[in-house]
Amino acid sequence: MKKWGFLFCLLSCAYLTFSTTILEPKVEIQKVDDYVKEEDKSTSKKIHKKEITEKQIHQGNLLLVNQEYPVEQESIKSDIINLFSHSELTQGYGLMDSNIYLSKDIAIEFSNMIAAAKKEGVRHFSITSGFRDFEEQSVLYQEIGSDYALPAGFSEHNLGLSLDVGSTQMKMAVALEGKWIEKNAWKYGFVLRYPKDKKDITGIEYEPWHIRYVGLPHSAIMKEKDFVLEEYLDYLKDEKHISVKMNEENYSITYYPISGSRTIPILNNSQFEISGNNMDGVIVTVYE
For 221-250, the pLDDT digits (tens) are 999 899 999 999 999 999 998 888 887 788
As a whole number, mean pLDDT of residues 82-88 equals 95
Whole-number Å distance between alpha carbons of 96 and 129: 8
| 251 and 286 Cβ atoms separated by less than 8 Å | yes
Q: Are strands 17-18 and 241-246 parallel, antiparallel or unpaired?
A: parallel
**Active-site hit among 39, 156, 182, 207:** 207
Active site residue 38: no
CATH number, position 180: 3.30.1380.10
Could you tell me if 99 and 176 lie in one domain?
Answer: yes
> 24 versus 269: which is more confidently predicted?
269
**Residue 71 lies inside a defined structural domain of this protein:** no
Say if residue 228 is in the same domain as residue 206: no
- Please tell me the distance from the alpha carbon of residue 237 to that of residue 249, in angstroms, as a whole number: 23
* Measured distance CA(275)–CA(284) in Å, rounded: 7
Closest to 180 (Cα-Cα) out of 129, 226, 118, 117: 117
Q: For residue 68, is it within any domain?
A: no
Q: What tens digit of pLDDT does each residue of 268-279 get?
A: 777 889 999 999
**Domain CATH code at residue 245:** 3.30.200.180
Contact 226, 197 (CB under 8 A): no
199 within some domain: yes
Residues 40 and 114 in one domain: no
Q: What integer is the mean pLDDT of 146-154?
A: 79
Position 18 scores a pLDDT of 39
Residue 248 structural domain: 1-62+215-288
Average pLDDT, the chain: 83
Per-residue confidence (pLDDT) for residue 109, from 0 to 100 = 97
Domain boundary pick from 198, 213, 228: 213
Q: 127 and 241 share a domain?
A: no
* pLDDT, tens only, 46-69: 777 888 888 999 999 999 999 899
Query: What percent of the chain shows pLDDT beyond 70?
Result: 83
| The dihedral formed by the CA atoms of 186, 258, 154 and 111, expressed in degrees to the nearest 10 | -30
Same domain, 58 and 161: no
